[in-house]
Amino acid sequence: MSSRRTVSLITLGCARNEVDSEELAARLEAAGWRLSDDDPDVIVVNTCGFIDSAKKESIDTLLAAADSGAKVVAAGCLAERYGKELAEALPEATVISFDDYAEIGDRLDDVLAGRPLRPHTPRDRRRLLPITPVDRSAARARIPGHGARADEPLPEGVAPASGPRTLRKRLTGGPVAPIKLASGCDRRCAFCAIPAFRGAYVSRPPEDLIAEARWLAEQGVKEIVLVSENSTSYGKDLGDLRALERLLPKLAATEGIERVRVNYLQPAELRPSLIEMLTSTPGVAPYFDLSFQHASGPLLRRMRRFGDARRFLDLLERIRERAPEAGIRSNFIVGFPGETEEDFAELKGFLEEARLDVIGVFGYSDEEGTEAYGFPDKLDQDTIDERVAELSALADELMAQRAEERIGTELEILIEEDLGDGGYEGRAAHQGPEVDGTVTVQGGSGLRPGQIVQAVAVGSEGVDLVARVKAGT
């Protein structure tokens, strides 16, 4: 076996996967592996398995990694969801489960030595945890991104001997980093397979999150983004339905942290006290990443979802009454089984009224193991593609209009990159990382990444803004 023992980590998909990869990186270093993209012995691909396009990207990445000559390991959601089936279809890669993460160093030793690993048979991970949420804290299921379990021996040099543990190594720089607030989901949306392979909902203890925020601040992070499958459920398994409201001020008060952002909010669970906290707490971004999915009431009920256009518009009005400048984004599924022309027209009408900052549009695709997989009334692919194109064009127009509305407003911008020639790129409080627009900042000098500046929006280009630093900043 090679004495180098070098490994490269490739992360696909969402910010939740990014956190999982950084936990894997910490465990690998503790096990004596060296992280390097330069001719590694093993390439670990942390895959995404959410929708067809993500699955294809994951497969293509695994095949490209195999072409490098390195040993290849498939981890993450695609690997967990398909297990043995993926291993049989893709003999170029060794497939591992979430249950292998705690011993990832040993597993890679096996791969490098040519010792065969038996791929797992996929199972519904919701069954690994008690049905009653408050009984889950004592369960022993492996949950990626949650660090070491209380009964798990600590990797040497990674975490303190007692107290909250930060089992993580940053793989990217920059002043922004995600923190996994919780994992899993208890909802039963008809189109979504995530709960089956990510498991039931489990919140991380507040003290762990606060310790991780402090650790990230020591790494130079200025903005933390709380991620999960459903952030509005945080605390229900801890016996405190308002745990998020209690947590946010503590995170915002962390020395070195300038901004806290919350992603993945369920409209059905967005209680008034949480709206108030998100719109009035210093250091917490007035930002609402709302999972609407559609606007037709009958279709939403078929999706096993809450709401309709009128309820959603009322919710947006309540948010903007408290914070007119709040950033609001959402994703929408087009072509769900049974979607009529009237349903589609209602969705378009809703978007024209909603004034959302960012609109994500996805065409429906069948996902094995979901309720919708067996639904009748499937739309043909040409119809789905036509509706996606039509709604995407409308969304682009509406997002550009919303950006124009912000011209003349004051922005609090986190500088992320020096573009040279006196220009900088950053994000305002209403813009989430990666998925939303950015701000090109002009008129400053000597600004640095991680600095927050006050500026005025002076122009827009699509969803992006141009701003000029206020005098005296």
Of the listed ranges 36-40, 78-82, 369-373, 441-445, the least confidently predicted one is 441-445
State the distance between the two ends of the chain, measured CA to CA, in whole angstroms.
Answer: 57
Q: Which residues define the annotated binding site for [4Fe-4S] cluster?
A: 14, 48, 77, 185, 189, 192
* 154 confidence band (pLDDT: 50, 70, 90): low
Helices assigned H by DSSP within 9-50: 15-30
99: which DSSP letter?
G
Does residue 216 have a pLDDT over 70? yes
Percent of the chain residues topping a pLDDT of 90: 84
Does residue 28 have a pLDDT over 60? yes
Q: What is the pLDDT of residues 286-320, one digit of tens each?
A: 999 999 999 999 999 999 999 999 999 999 999 99
Does residue 4 have a pLDDT over 70? no
Percent of the chain residues topping a pLDDT of 70: 94
Cα gap 424→444, rounded to integer Å: 8
Cα gap 176→436, rounded to integer Å: 14
Is beta strand 452-461 parallel, antiparallel or unpaired with respect to 423-428?
unpaired
Give 407-469's CATH code, choosing from 1.10.3470.10, 1.10.10.60, 2.40.50.140, 2.40.110.10: 2.40.50.140
For the residues 224-250, what does the mean pLDDT come to? 96
For the residues 441-461, what does the mean pLDDT come to? 93
* 161 confidence band (pLDDT: 50, 70, 90): very low
pTM for this predicted structure: 0.93
Higher pLDDT: 116 or 7? It is 7
Is 6-121's fold the same as 139-147+163-405's? no
Structural domain boundaries in the chain: 6-121, 139-147+163-405, 407-469
pLDDT reported for residue 155: 57
pLDDT reported for residue 137: 74
For the residues 416-421, what does the mean pLDDT come to? 90
- Six-digit token string for 422: 């006196």
Does residue 466 have a pLDDT over 70? yes
pLDDT reported for residue 134: 79
Q: Are 32 and 26 in contact (CB under 8 A)?
A: no
Q: Which residues define the annotated binding site?
A: 14, 48, 77, 185, 189, 192
CB proximity list for 339: less than 8 A, separation 6 or greater: 294, 296, 299, 364, 379, 387
Dihedral sign, Cα of residue 429, residue 433, residue 435, residue 437:
positive
Helices assigned H by DSSP within 303-409: 309-322, 341-354, 381-405
* 210 confidence band (pLDDT: 50, 70, 90): very high
* 407 confidence band (pLDDT: 50, 70, 90): very high
Q: What is the pLDDT of residues 97-145, one digit of tens each?
A: 999 999 999 999 999 999 989 999 999 898 888 888 877 876 667 788 8
Cα gap 345→343, rounded to integer Å: 5
Residue 469 has, within 13 A of its CA and on its CB side, a CA count of 20
Q: Classify residue 114 as left (phi > 0), alpha (psi -120 to 50) or beta.
A: left
Give 139-147+163-405's CATH code, choosing from 3.30.200.20, 3.40.50.1000, 3.80.30.20, 3.40.1350.10: 3.80.30.20
Phi, psi torsion values for 123, nearest 5 degrees: -140, 160
pLDDT reported for residue 445: 82
In 3-state terms, what secondary structure has residue 214?
A: helix
CB proximity list for 348: less than 8 A, separation 6 or greater: 390, 391, 394
For the residues 423-451, what does the mean pLDDT come to? 93
> 6-121 maps to which CATH number?
3.40.50.12160
* 420 confidence band (pLDDT: 50, 70, 90): confident
What does the mean pLDDT of the chain come to?
A: 92
Phi, psi torsion values for 284, nearest 5 degrees: -105, 125
For the residues 333-356, what does the mean pLDDT come to? 98
Q: Are 49 and 55 in contact (CB under 8 A)?
A: yes
